[in-house]
Structure 1
Amino acid sequence: MRILMISDTYFPRVSGVASSIRSFRMGLTRLGNEVDLLIPAYGPGEAPDTGILQAPARRVFFYPEERLMTPLGLMRLRRRLGQRRYDLIHIQTPFVAHSYGTHLAHRLEIPAVLSYHTYFEAYMGHYYPWFPAPLRRSLIRRISRHQCHAVAGVIVPSRAMAEILWSYGVNTPLQVIPTGIDAAPFASGDGAAFRANLGIGPEKRVLLYAGRVAPEKNIPLLLDVIERLRHVLPEVLLLLAGDGPARAALEAQSARRGLGDVVRFLGYLDRESTLRDAYQAAEIFVFPSQTETQGMVLLEALAAGLPVVAIPALGAADLLASRQGSRSARPDPADFSEQCLRLLRDHELRERLAREARELARRWSQEAMSQRLIHFYATLTGDLPISHLRVQQPSA
C-alpha cells in the first residue's frame, strides 16, 4: 500500500506526535508499504530522510519551535503528490495538515484517516486560562466533531481518548491503536558513563522525567515531590530531560525553593544516544502529566527496564492498569512521593518491576501496532470487506 502522512509538526521539533509518526512509518515500511511524509520545512541544515517532503513554511509568532505550512507552497506540491498515486492519506494533526489532507483526499478520490493525538480540551485550559471554560469546551468539541466527520476513519492511542470523542458525538469508524515501540534499542545505554559525565556519584538516587517542559505536563508536582523526598533521602536527585515554554519559570521556582542541589534541568537529550543512557542511569521514571493521550516516554522507560511512577490519567491509564513495571500515584505530592519512596527503599521490588517493564514493552511492539494500522487502512480502501472492520463503540 502507498500512504501519504501529513503533519504540522515533526522532528527536529521533539514531541510525542513526532515520535508516533516515526514509529508507525518505520513499522509500516518494514511490512512492505511505502510511506511518504509531508511536513513543514524547518530551515537549512535539516536534511530530510528519504520519503519526507517539506512544504514551504513560516514561523509561528507565539510558538517559535513550530512552523506553519503555507497554502501557496502546498498548492505547488499538489501535482507532484497526485503523480504518486497514493491509496490513502493519513492526517496526523488538526491544523493546516487537516485542511490540506482532506482537500487532497477529495481531489484524488481516496480515503483520509485522522489520528487524534491530543486532548485539546485539557491543553487549552493551561495555555488560555482567560478563555471562558464553557466556550472553550464548546468550541473544541464542535471543531473536533467536524474534523472527525470529515474523514473516513479515526485513530486514537487509548480507550480514554475514544470515550472522549464518543462523548463529543463522533460517529466516524474509530479504532484504538496505540503507538508501538521498537523495544530493543532502549535496552542498551551506558548509565555509568551518563552519571560520570554529569558528575553524579553512584550514591545518588536518581528520578528521571523526560518530555516537554510545558504547563500541561504538571512538572511543579515533581518539585513538590523532590522537596518531600530530600528530607528522608538526602541523596535523591531529580533529572528533567526536555525543554519547552515552562522551563525558565520552573528553573526560577526551583532556585527560589532552594532545590538547586536536587533538581537538574538537562534540556533535550538525543533519543538515539544520551536519552537511552539517562534511562539506564535512573532508578525510577516519574511522570506527573494528566493530559497524555498515550505517553510514548512511558513505553520507552519500560523498554529500558526502568520502573515507572505515574498518574493513571487518559492514555497513561492503559499502561498502568496491569501494575506491571509501574506504580500508580494520585496527583498529590504526598502519595506520589510515597510511591517513589517505596521503590527506592525496596531493591527487590525495583528488580521485579524492571523485569515486568521489559515484558510489557515487548507486548506493545512496533510491528504489532503497525499490523493493526494497516488492517484498518485496508478496510477503508476496500482491500478488506467492511465486515472485517470491528468499529469500537461505547460500552453500555
Structure 2
Amino acid sequence: MNILMLSDVYFPRVNGVSTSIRTFARSLAQMGHAVTLVVPDYGPESGQAQHDEGAFEVIRLPARVIFFDPEDRLIKGSALAAVTRTLAARDWDVIHVHTPFRAHQLGVRLAALTGTPTVETYHTYFEEYVGHYLPWLPAGLTRWLARRVSRHLCHGVDHLIVPSAQMAEVLDRYGVRTPWTVIPTGIDLAEFSGGDGARFRDMHGIGADAPTMVTVSRLSLEKNIAFLLRVAKRLLPRFPALQFLIAGEGPDAVRLRQLVASLGLQNNVRFFGNLDRRSTLLDAYSAGDVFVFASPTETQGLVLIEAMAMGTPIVSTAVMGTATVLRDARSARISSEDESVFAGHVALLLDSVEDRRALAEAGPMDARAWSTEVLMGRAVDLYASLLRPSPALA
C-alpha cells in the first residue's frame, strides 16, 4: 500500500507522539509498504533527526514557532497550498492523520480532492492538556472547547484509531460517532535491550549500591513529575543515598528544578535531558532499581512498555492508557496517586532484591504483548478494510 502520514509534530521534537509516529512508519516500511510522512520543519535541528528516515520518505514543510509553546511548530498556511497540489497528484491508498491542527486540515483537504479514505489517531487527551497551555482561560471553558473541537475533528475523517479502550470511552462521552478501532502503537522490542546500568552509574558518579529511581518523561505539568519529587522526599529518611534520575526536557524544567531546591533534594535528583534512544537512554533505564511514573493523561504510556522491555521494575499509577498497559502486568506495582502509598510501594522494592528480580524477569515477557510485530498487522488490516474499489472494479 501507499500510505500518506501527516503530523504537526515529529523529531527533533521529543515526545510520545513523535515516537509513536516513527514506530508506525518504520514498522509499515519494514512490512513492505511505501510510507510518506509530512511534518513541520524545525530548522537546523531537523537534520539531526534524520538518521533513521531512510526507510520512509519525509517531507518537511516551513513552519513557525508557537508563542505559547515554543517547543512546537505550526506549519505555515502558505506551505499547505503548494504541498496540497503536489500530494493530490500522487496515488495514495490511505491518508493517516496523527494530529488535529494543520495536519488534519491537509488530510481532510486531500481526502476531498482525491477520494482517499482517511484515518486519524487520537493520540492526546486534549481535555486534560489544554488548561496547562491556556491557563488564562477558565478551566470549564477550555474543557468545553476541547470536547467540542475533538468532536468536530473526529467527524471529519472516515475512521479513528485510539490507543486504549479508556480513550475510546472518552470519545464516546464526547458524542463522537465516527467508527473507531483500538490499536496501541507498541514498541520495537529489538530497540530496547542491552542497556548498561553500571556504565551509566559510573559515568555519573552514582554508587553501585545507591538506591535509584528513574523516570523518562517530557518535563511538563501534565506528566506529574512534581508528585514523584515529593515521593522522593518521603523516601529520604529511609534511603538517604537515594538517587532520582530524570530523563527528558520540557517547559516545566525550571519549575521542577526550583521544587528540587525547595524540597532539599539537590543531592538526590539528577536531570539528564533527552538521552540518545540507542545508547544512553537504555543505560539510564538499566541504572534504575525502580522505574516510576504517575502521569494521569497518557493515552498509551509507551515509556512503561520500554521499562518492561528493559527489565526495570515499575511503580506507577494506572489511569487512562497506563491502566491498559499495566492491567495484566507482572512487572509492576500499581499505586494510587497518594504520596505515602506510592512511596511505600517504591520502598518495598528498594528493600527487596528478590522482589526486584522477580519483576525484572517478568518485564520482557509483559512487553511482548506490546510488540509492533503483534500490533502493526492490525493497522494494516484496518487500512485494507477502508480501501475503496477502483472505478474499473466497482
After TM superposition, the score normalised by the length of structure 1 is 0.94
Q: Which residue of 2 aligns with 1:35?
A: 35
Q: Which residue of 1 aligns with 2:354?
A: 348
Q: Which residue of 1 aligns with 2:260?
A: 254
Structure 1 distance, partners of 2:42, 2:179, is: 34
Alignment of 1:107-146 (within 5 A): 107-146=113-152
> Runs of at least 4 residues of structure 1 off by over 4 A?
none
Verify the 8 A CA contact 1:42 1:67 in the aligned structure 2.
yes
Q: Deviations over 1:80-106 (max 9, x none)?
A: 212331111100001111111111111
Structure 1 distance, partners of 2:149, 2:257, is: 36
Verify the 8 A CA contact 1:56 1:74 in the aligned structure 2.
no
1:14 aligns with 2:14: yes
Aligned residues: 383
What residue identity is the alignment partner of 2:235? L
Compute the RMSD of aligned alpha carbons.
1.3
Deviation at 1:130, TM superposition (A): 4.1
Verify the 8 A CA contact 1:158 1:314 in the aligned structure 2.
yes
Deviation at 1:209, TM superposition (A): 0.8
Deviation at 1:129, TM superposition (A): 4.0
Structure 2 distance, partners of 1:323, 1:231, is: 30
Alignment of 1:305-344 (within 5 A): 305-344=311-350
Structure 2, unpaired ranges of 5+: 390-394
Deviation at 1:131, TM superposition (A): 2.3
Deviation at 1:46, TM superposition (A): 2.8
What residue identity is the alignment partner of 2:295? S
1:274 aligns with 2:306: no
Q: Among residues 202, 213, 218, which one is paired with 1:207 in the alignment?
A: 213
Deviation at 1:283, TM superposition (A): 1.0
Deviation at 1:268, TM superposition (A): 1.0
Q: Structure 1 239/45 Cα, relative in aligned 2: closer, same or farther at 3 Å?
A: closer
Verify the 8 A CA contact 2:95 2:107 in the aligned structure 1.
yes
1:189 aligns with 2:195: yes
Deviation at 1:67, TM superposition (A): 1.1
Deviation at 1:334, TM superposition (A): 0.3
Q: Deviations over 1:127-161 (max 9, x none)?
A: 33442233222211111111111100001111100
Structure 1 distance, partners of 2:186, 2:269, is: 31
Q: Which residue of 2 aligns with 1:25?
A: 25
Structure 1 distance, partners of 2:44, 2:254, is: 27
What residue identity is the alignment partner of 2:69? Y
After TM superposition, the score normalised by the length of structure 2 is 0.95
Verify the 8 A CA contact 1:184 1:303 in the aligned structure 2.
no
Q: Structure 1 187/260 Cα, relative in aligned 2: closer, same or farther at 3 Å?
A: same
Structure 1, unpaired ranges of 5+: 384-396
Deviation at 1:107, TM superposition (A): 0.8
Structure 2 distance, partners of 1:104, 1:64, is: 28
Structure 2 distance, partners of 1:223, 1:141, is: 32
Q: Which residue of 1 aligns with 2:379?
A: 373
Structure 2 distance, partners of 1:45, 1:141, is: 34
What's the secondary structure of 2:160's corresponding residue?
strand
Q: Which residue of 2 aligns with 1:387?
A: none
Q: Deviations over 1:247-283 (max 9, x none)?
A: 1111011112211011111111111111011011111
Verify the 8 A CA contact 1:88 1:381 in the aligned structure 2.
yes
Verify the 8 A CA contact 1:93 1:116 in the aligned structure 2.
yes
Q: Which residue of 2 aligns with 1:3?
A: 3
Identity rate, percent:
47
Q: Which residue of 1 aligns with 2:363?
A: 357
